[in-house]
Structure 1
């Protein structure tokens, strides 16, 4: 019996690092910690988590150990931030939502580090103009 698992492709800005994640994600979140803000250059970082066994690579990200046992992967050519891994839990890998070719199917299941969230990114403010 053949099971057709969905596949989700993505990669960096220049295309030197590409990946395919098979199956459904095991998590998704918006992280509001200061390290993710620095790494992404944004007020909040969005991630989608897959089992590492479900991921194939064409080109590999370079890892940076941002804190003990925590690794952030980026393209060695263009510098695009791609992944986050907890080294003690190598069975999972979090991908930056924006690194997917089509991020629309994914949904965040939680917000992390809300105690450090920037107020302007912690929710929808009705006083902020929304543009499409």
Structure 2
């Protein structure tokens, strides 16, 4: 597919970014640090060159270990990724922070020692759309607001 320019940002809009990215460089990291940093069973990342990321509104950075740091928005908590503190030209951005993450496809798993297999193939589970869940739809109506897209 090759590199394409894509945009992303946080939930509250304080931090935005534009980056030249190859969607084929996406992967899932299952290490315990990424699980805790994202609150999920894995972090969906895409590797990018740090020089290719243009931030509009600087993210905050959390020193998550002696060797790495993670960008995030202190306003809403959105995690943006991971980078080594020294010695790397690349960093990872969270797939979910992109405005349109639909063309990312993971190419491998990392941190396989902490994988939770039950969360990998969920194709047999029932699927419920948010716009078909009456309780949620009514809450948005009561708030006189539109749900996020």
**TM bin (shorter chain):** 0.7 to 0.9
Contact 1:25 1:50 in 2 (8 A): no
Match of 1:7 among 5, 8, 11: 5
Q: List alignment gaps of at least 5 residues for structure 1.
A: none
Could you tell me which residue of structure 1 aligns to residue 84 of structure 2? 86
Using the alignment, how far apart are the partners of 1:25 and 1:11 within structure 2?
Answer: 17
| Matching of residues 66-77 of structure 1 within 5 Å | 66-77=64-75
Structure 1's 58 and 100: CA in aligned 2 closer, same or farther, altered over 3 A? Answer: same
Aligned Cα root-mean-square deviation (Å):
1.9
Using the alignment, how far apart are the partners of 2:53 and 2:122 within structure 1?
Answer: 37
Using the alignment, how far apart are the partners of 1:73 and 1:125 within structure 2?
Answer: 29
Measure how far apart 1:47 and its partner are.
0.2
Q: TM-score, normalised by structure 1?
A: 0.85
Measure how far apart 1:26 and its partner are.
7.3
Contact 2:29 2:111 in 1 (8 A): yes
Q: Helix, strand or coil: the match of 1:37?
A: helix
Q: List alignment gaps of at least 5 residues for structure 2.
A: 129-149
| Matching of residues 1-132 of structure 1 within 5 Å | 6-24=4-22, 27-121=25-119, 123-124=120-121, 128-131=124-127
Contact 1:26 1:49 in 2 (8 A): no
Structure 1's 129 and 91: CA in aligned 2 closer, same or farther, altered over 3 A? Answer: same
Q: TM-score, normalised by structure 2?
A: 0.76
Structure 1's 26 and 107: CA in aligned 2 closer, same or farther, altered over 3 A? Answer: closer
Relative to its length, the structure with more helix (as a share) is: 2
Q: Which runs of 4+ in 1 moved over 2 A?
A: 23-27
Size of the alignment, in residue pairs? 126
